[in-house]
Amino acid sequence: MGAVTEPPRKLSPHLRDRAFRWIADDVDADSRAELQGVLARALGGDGHAVADLADRMAGPLEFGTAGLRGPVRAGPNGMNTAVVVRTTAGVASWLARNAGAGPVVLGRDARHGSAAFVSAAAEVLAAAGFDVQMLPRPLPTPVLAFAVRHLGAVAGIQITASHNPPADNGYKLYDGGGAQIVPPADQEIEAAIREAPAAVSVPRAPGAGTLGEDPVDAYLARVAALPRGPARELRVAATALHGVGAETLGLALRRAGFAEPAQVAAQSAPDPDFPTVPFPNPEEPGATDLLLDLAAETGADLAIALDPDADRCALGARERDGGWRMLRGDETGVLLGAHVLSTVDDPDPLVATTIVSSSMLGKVAAARGARYAETLTGFKWLVRAGEGLVYAYEEALGLCVDPESVRDKDGIAAAVLACDLAATCRTEGRTLFDLLDELTVRHGVHLTDQVSLRMTDLAERARLMASLRAQPPTALAGTHVTAEDLSPDADVLRLWGEGLRVVLRPSGTEPKLKAYLEVTAPVPGPGELAATRRAAGSRLAALREDVDRLL
């Protein structure tokens, strides 16, 4: 995401000349024509075009540990072929210095531009001397992460914008271990991209190979072996939210012995315009309405929503009153974590979550005699939490249930393991909500929420974080709180109080400042669960009001 600046009122000679140079160096005729049109309107005095041009030229997109992500449009502050070419030139230079010889695996989703971008990246890597192997078709991101390890590759690149809005696309880099890169690799690659020549001067060559079905079959075989129990009787409703996960999910469930899921027909085929959802993210209000309708109509036992590149998984279940609701990411995370710990054969297992997720997993781990770790946000940190890692999750629907084979979040694998858990519950006459109640009685109520403040001016967002650090609140929801500043390791401010926690951080992928809230309370006994939840819910509402005012 490039820097956001105050848009100019008039076209400056400097901005005009930068646009002319970029157009001259662009490698894609459509992108050249697009930027020429914006420039022509700006030259004609159109103030909106001047602002548009300034934003497009405000880049380049920053290459962080999550790679690139931005709107598909011409100019250095967008996702386009020229940006992909220069980015891949920098990646190739960095790999040549740090990774040595070996294949590079490339994959893509079905978003606008993905096919052209992955082809451009393949040509740059082939010209740089790498053995380039492309996945056979648009596939989920976890298949690419698996293929890196399965094929012994030195790196993997997935063209995807995950659950971002339809206008966006992205570029995600995995290291030779199949994990996302971490500092200082991102800064080193960013420097290599800056040193790359103009896109028109970057060598490109044919020669990339296309993989057959072997890595896909190997992935499916691994995922199909994840269930811990023998139960397979389960009715599933599912949606891929117009992404690339429907086919792979269906194959995975069938190979694991479950019935074919009922798919939301309007959302099962890849469609880069995402016509039925304003934001293709299972967390967004309304995104799973069609799924829950289908679950009710088909008498399903479990509802599964994947995000468009299928690395995230959300679960829905029927409550005792007969209504359906989606589980929060922390609820799913703790349920699957407890399931893994109850069946794992590792003598010294480690489970991990992030500092913004529920703290309940730590209590579950302690009760099971397992090690527990908290990391900074992002799976690049979670999969590096320590030796013996058997499970990791983050509250934003990211679940890593098989770190040995996929060192990232994997919505397909999580869905298969969730079906294993739900089918086992079904044979016992219990539901996922029954399991949550049992965990809550044993380990206490843990309620979480999130406040997001959209801030397109990134400088203003930085000033707000600095102000909060300089004068943090001393009380929230009537409770004294202590501030803990995690900088310079992370741009995070943590506020602690008796039975509550707030974590403040800028989003790494969206122009937002986020606050993650948690309220905890012990449960005196099974008969006190409802009353304890109500009291904790009231306290969480008060905490949210205070944080809203704070931001």
Residue 226, phi then psi, degrees to nearest 5: -75, -35
Query: What are the pLDDT digits (tens) for 122-164?
Result: 999 999 999 999 999 999 999 999 999 999 999 999 999 999 9
Q: CB-hemisphere CA count at 13 Å for 114? A: 32
Of residues 511 and 412, more confidently modeled: 412
**Fold of the CATH domain 218-441:** Alpha-D-Glucose-1,6-Bisphosphate; Chain A, domain 3 (3.40.120)
Predicted confidence at residue 454, as pLDDT, reads 87
495 in Cβ contact with 476 (< 8 Å): yes
Query: What are the pLDDT digits (tens) for 463-488?
Result: 999 999 999 999 999 999 999 999 99
Residue 442, phi then psi, degrees to nearest 5: -75, -40
Cα–Cα distance measured from residue 431 to residue 434, given in angstroms and rounded to the nearest whole number: 5
Query: What are the pLDDT digits (tens) for 299-319?
Result: 999 999 999 999 999 999 999
Q: Boundaries of CATH 3.40.120.10 in the chain?
A: 62-198, 218-441
DSSP state of 79: B
**Fold of the CATH domain 445-550:** TATA-Binding Protein (3.30.310)
pLDDT above 50: residue 1? no
What is the percentage of the chain residues whose pLDDT exceeds 70? 98
Active site residue 467: no
Q: pTM of the full predicted structure? A: 0.95
Q: Boundaries of CATH 3.30.310.50 in the chain?
A: 445-550
Predicted confidence at residue 3, as pLDDT, reads 47
262 in Cβ contact with 328 (< 8 Å): no
Cα 309–433–277 angle (5° rounding)?
Answer: 30
Task: Place domain 62-198 in its CATH homologous superfamily.
Answer: Alpha-D-Glucose-1,6-Bisphosphate, subunit A, domain 3 (3.40.120.10)
pLDDT above 90: residue 26? yes
* pLDDT averaged over every residue in the chain: 95
Per this entry, what is the length of the chain? Answer: 551
pLDDT above 80: residue 2? no
Cα 321–325–329 angle (5° rounding)?
Answer: 135
Catalytic residue among 162, 357, 358, 359: 162
Query: What are the pLDDT digits (tens) for 5-23?
Result: 455 568 999 999 999 999 9
Predicted confidence at residue 536, as pLDDT, reads 97
Query: What are the pLDDT digits (tens) for 54-111?
Result: 999 998 998 887 799 999 999 999 999 999 999 999 999 999 999 988 899 999 999 9
Average pLDDT over residues 508-527: 89
Predicted confidence at residue 65, as pLDDT, reads 76
pLDDT above 90: residue 247? yes
How is 105-167 classified by DSSP, letter by letter? EEEE-SSTTHHHHHHHHHHHHHHTT-EEEE-SSS--HHHHHHHHHHTT-SEEEEE--TTS-TT
Average pLDDT over residues 490-516: 92
pLDDT above 80: residue 176? yes
